[in-house]
Amino acid sequence: MEEGPYKCVRDVNGTVSRVIRMGTRKSQLARIQTDYVAEKLKNLYPDVNLGIAFGKIVLHVLNDKPVLLMQNKMWSLRPLYNQLLCPNRVDLVVHSLKDLPTTLPDGFTIGAVLQRESPYDAVVLHPKNSGLTLDSLPDGSVIGTSSLRRAAQLKKRFSHLEFKDIRGNLNTRLKKLDEKEDYSAIILAAAGLKRMGWETRISQVLNPEDCMYAVGQGALAVEVRARDSDILEMVSNLHHPETVLRCIAERAFLRRLEGGCSVPVAVHTEVKDSVLSLTGAVYSLDGTDCLKDTMEASITPGNQESADFQHVGVTALNVPQFSQVAAEKLGVALADLLLSQGAMEILTTARKLNDAR
């Protein structure tokens, strides 16, 4: 049944409850991630009915009209980007945070950032190379990765290896690795492998000295319409404060650099004794040019009350406003430092070279 602007259902006892509709793609990983968030919401709100809508191509739809996302002068309708369909169809969408642009279209916000899984990258070896590492693989071994960030860092660190693109979802990439002899190993996000239950395929986890991770990697985000205050309040209870602050700093760093998936930008964050530390770097495509530095900021809450507005697309109702502001300022300050040292020149050259490929 329908009551007002929201979809509702009536049980056999006549009790009416609202249905919260969750949007996602049809991929196995997307469904696993959405089911995980649904379970969290069901534990918090046992009386709420949850429904999941699956879509092949996902995009923002505002007032029934598609909104193309433009990030770094690139139009994107990629399946892992944003889906939040018009009212009465989908109330929220679950994403991998690293796939969301740092500036969302008007009317949308990230209402929850869940506790981060491992943000690190992992090496998955071809079965014939079992027991080896990137260091011990033979000269000329081919490593598959679709990430400019990973390739730029690893080319410099493991100069005896060759790096080539590999495309497709996790299932497709693993199939390409196992069934052919084109790759000696591939590099994937450890978080995705763990969520798929494939942790045993991880041969090596790359530490930050070898390969820093992507902005937001390992964290799940719940995107909602900013005007839906009831949905926003509901999902805000999923926020993990430390993950929120780390990711706000990372996203602010990336947005200030005007970076994205078309340029090699990497980060590493940690919180210790109420101090947030952010390491950020930019690379040339071959990894020969690099600017890297670290800055810190106190995130001890001040006297300010939380306010309902966004920081780099994130609305965190249950995280102190002072801490969010400090995290965002930290990301901006580190980006400004690297920009003053020539980061924009490196990124502009990398972007041009990548566009010409």
> Which residues are the active-site residues?
98-99, 149-150, 167, 173, 261
DSSP letter at 122 equals: E
Tokens 């889906």 belong to 83
- What three-state secondary structure class fits 96? strand
Which is it for the CA torsion 223, 52, 60, 268, positive or negative?
positive
The sign of the CA dihedral 51, 104, 307, 241 is positive
Query: 141-176 burial, b if ≥16 CB within 10 A, otherwise e?
Result: bbbbbbbbbbbbbbbbebeebebeebeebbeebbeb
Question: Angle CA(119)–CA(314)–CA(323) in degrees, nearest 5?
Answer: 85
Phi-psi region of 346 (alpha: psi -120 to 50; beta: other; left: phi over 0): alpha
Burial label for 202, CB within 10 Å (0-12, 13-18, 19+), is middle
Q: How far apart, in whole angstroms, are the C-alpha atoms of residue 235 and residue 280?
A: 30
User: Which residue from 348, 21, 283 is spatially nearest to 153, judged by alpha carbons?
Assistant: 283
Q: Return the biggest CA–CA distance within the chain.
A: 70
Spatial separation of the C-alpha atoms in residues 120 and 106, rounded to whole Å:
31
Helix axes 343-356, 148-157, angle to 10 degrees: 110
